[in-house]
Structure 1
Amino acid sequence: MEKPEFEPQILANRQGVSFWLVRGNTSVECIVAIAALEAHFWLEPQAGDARILRIFGDGYSRIRAIAERKLLAHPCARLELTPDDFERR
């Protein structure tokens, strides 16, 4: 299983988990919304920090793949992933 290059952090407002994608010399901050983890990764509402980070870690390969695809389509310095990004089309 892949691991994030930097340790993921729960945002102060508890609305998401921040992590970084590193590509060569470029680093991009990514945020996956807690709502996305609840909707697509079986995170229960009002989960504690340890559970949030566990669910993020378990789904990291998929989260990273979606983040990389979105970043290729729309290059930016800060990328936010919402529940819509994980919908299967």
Structure 2
Amino acid sequence: MNKQELLSSIASRAKVSKEQADNVLKFYEEIVLQELEANKEFVLLNLGKFKIAMRAERSGMNPKTKEPIKIPACNVPKFSPSKRLKEMASKVK
């Protein structure tokens, strides 16, 4: 499903215009990003949890020169699925 299909689905189910659905989706995205920035965590009820985690410095290799390099520590987004999402995924064929 792409964004336009999602907006159509939301609009028809909520009986609102696609423009209104798009605005809600934009506000939701802003809220999620603000929460992640402020609290490093955001829970999507019944779906899972987004969080910002620190990835430690590690060794790597330059693919062109094959020389070893240090990859600096950085923050990365992570997602942990809920029990409900895991159960649903296990039933998909």
TM-score (norm. length: structure 1): 0.29
Greater C-alpha Rg: 2
Larger proportion of helix: 2
Larger proportion of strand: 2
TM-score (norm. length: structure 2): 0.28
Structure possessing the higher relative contact order (Cα contacts under 8 Å, 6 or more residues apart): 1
